[in-house]
Chain A
Amino acid sequence: MHSMEGRHVLIAGASQGLGRALAFAASARGANVTLVARSEARLREVAEELGDRAYTIVADVAGPSAAARIAGEASDRFGAVDVLINNASTLGAVPMPALFDTTDEVLRDVFDVNLFAPFALARAVGGGMVARGRGVIVNISSDAAVEAYEGWGAYGASKAALDHLTRIWAAEVEGSGVRFLAVDPGEMNTAMHAAALPDADPATLEAPEVVAARVLRMIEGSAGNGARLVASHWAAKEVA
Chain B
Amino acid sequence: MKATTLTLPPARARRARHEVRLLAIDRRTGAATRHGRIADLPELLEPGDALVLNDAATWPASLFGRCGDAPVELRLAARRGDTWRAVVFGDGDWRTPTEHRPPPPQLVPGDTIRVGEDLSALVLEAEGRLVTLRLDGSIHALYAYGHPVQYAHADRARRLEDVQTAYATRPYAFEMPSAGWGITPDVLHACRRREIAVLTLTHEAGLSSTGDAALDARLPFPERYEIPRATIDGLRGRRVIAVGTSVVRALEGAYARFGELVEGEHETDLVVTSRHELRVVDGLLTGLHVPGESHYELLRAFLPEPLATLAVQTAIASAAYLAHELGDAMLVTTTR
Contact = CB atoms under 8 A, between A and B. Distances in A.
Interface stretch (A109-117, A156-164, A168-176, A217-225): A168-176
A72 B188 contact: no
B84 interface: no
Tell me what chain B mostly uses at the interface: helix, strand, loop, or mixed: mixed
Contacts, number: 82
B49 to A, nearest CB: 16
Interface stretch (A18-26, A84-92, A129-137, A183-191): A129-137
Interface string B160-171: 110011111111
Interface in A113-142: 120, 124-128, 130-133
Given A57-B140, A72-B57, A72-B59, A128 B186 contact: no
Contact of B160 (A57, A68, A126, A175): A68
A9 B170 CA distance: 15
Residue of B55, B57, B144, B169 with most partner-chain A CB within 10 A: B169
A23 B84 CA distance: 32
B100 to A, nearest CB: 28
A58 interface: yes
B189 A175 contact: yes
A131 B161 contact: no
A100 B189 CA distance: 44
B217 interface: no
By size class, the interface of chain A is: 20 to 34
A128 B169 contact: yes
B160 A72 contact: yes
B309 interface: no
A45 interface: no
Given A80-B169, A124-B164, 16 more contacts: A57-B140, A65-B160, A69-B60, A69-B144, A72-B59, A72-B171, A73-B143, A76-B139, A76-B170, A76-B171, A79-B170, A126-B185, A127-B167, A127-B188, A131-B167, A173-B189
8 contacts: A58-B140, A65-B161, A68-B159, A69-B160, A72-B143, A73-B171, A77-B139, A131-B185
Interface of B: 53, 55, 57, 59-60, 139-140, 143-144, 159-161, 164-171, 184-186, 188-189, 192-193, 198, 200
